[in-house]
Amino acid sequence: MGEELFLSLMPDFEALEGQRVLVRPYREEDAPALFEAIEESRAHLRPWMPWANEHQRLEETRDWINRQRAAWLLREMYSCTVLERANGHLVGGIGLKPHDWQARVFEIGYWLRATATGQGYMTEATQLVTSFALTRLQANRVFIRCDERNERSAAVARRLGFVFEGCLRNESVAPDGQLRNTLVFSLTPADRWQAAH
Ligand SMILES: CC(C)(COP(=O)(O)OP(=O)(O)OC[C@H]1O[C@@H](n2cnc3c(N)ncnc32)[C@H](O)[C@@H]1OP(=O)(O)O)[C@@H](O)C(=O)NCCC(=O)NCCS
């Protein structure tokens, strides 16, 4: 039996600033940029993200953002946009999902628009969010899961020192309808970790 937690009072942030990226909660006015990023990236997102065919209208994206903002207040999900610091350009999204507040277990998920890959932006954003979880939220476990075939996603976790824990066989159905094997990576406070440049 742990002490009672008042979730809306758990730590959050206005922005996490890295060298090149800024991670912050979505605002309704991000909708056009988010819509455009998804629209131009559907082919790149479709193999991995079950929502790649959603956001067919700007209103849907605005509504999605507002629901993410509600989830943020309740600390059900810390859903963030990733922006290039130099120019405010929206490059992708990252989410920190609390799985178990008593055990302090959190999952990170991410995506980049197709034109923003290959520059280290998601590694930096994931480092910022992981730091927030380990320090401010006192996470005992931060984990990342991905399709075994998603080498670029696994590389983000590996690059930051997340520890490979195993492969869950036939764990779920991928967006292409095939059964997928899922890789699991995690960090605990006992692990040494850092972004490798
Ligand atoms: C997963 C995903 C975000 C990874 O994108 P990414 O561009 O490989 O990741 P990063 O932004 O961290 O960039 C790393 C790349 O930039 C390069 N890079 C350049 N400068 C860098 C820097 N300063 N720091 C780190 N990497 C740098 C790295 O070498 C690496 O390239 P490589 O794979 O060719 O070696 C992207 O592929 C994606 O959006 N996929 C579709 C959605 C998805 O699969 N999400 C995950 C679901 S589990």
Ligand 1 pocket check: which of 45, 91, 123 to mutate, most ligand atoms within 8 Å of Cβ?
Answer: 123
Q: What percent of the chain has pLDDT over 90?
A: 95
Work out which ligand 1 atom sits closest to the CA atom of 150.
Answer: 44
Report whether 21 contacts 125 (CB < 8 A): yes
Residue 192: band (very low, low, confident or very high) from pLDDT cuts 50, 70, 90: confident
Residue whose CA lies nearest to ligand 1 atom number 23: 120
The rounded Å distance from CA 65 to ligand 1 centre is: 24
Q: Which atom of ligand 1 is nearest to the CA of 126?
A: 12
Ligand 1 atom 41: residue of nearest CA? 45
pLDDT in tens, 112-160: 999 999 999 999 999 999 999 999 999 999 999 999 999 999 999 999 9
Q: Is the pTM of this model over 0.85?
A: yes
- Domains belonging to the chain, first-starting first, are 14-143 (3.40.630.30)
pLDDT digits (tens, 9 = 90+) for 41-88: 999 999 999 999 999 999 999 999 999 999 999 999 999 999 999 999
Atom from ligand 1 closest to the CA of residue 153 = 1
List the beta bridge partners of residue 84.
21
pLDDT at position 196 is 39
- Model confidence band, residue 194 (pLDDT cutoffs 50, 70, 90): low
Residue 165 has pLDDT above 70, yes or no: yes
Ligand 1 geometric centre to CA of 152 (Å): 6
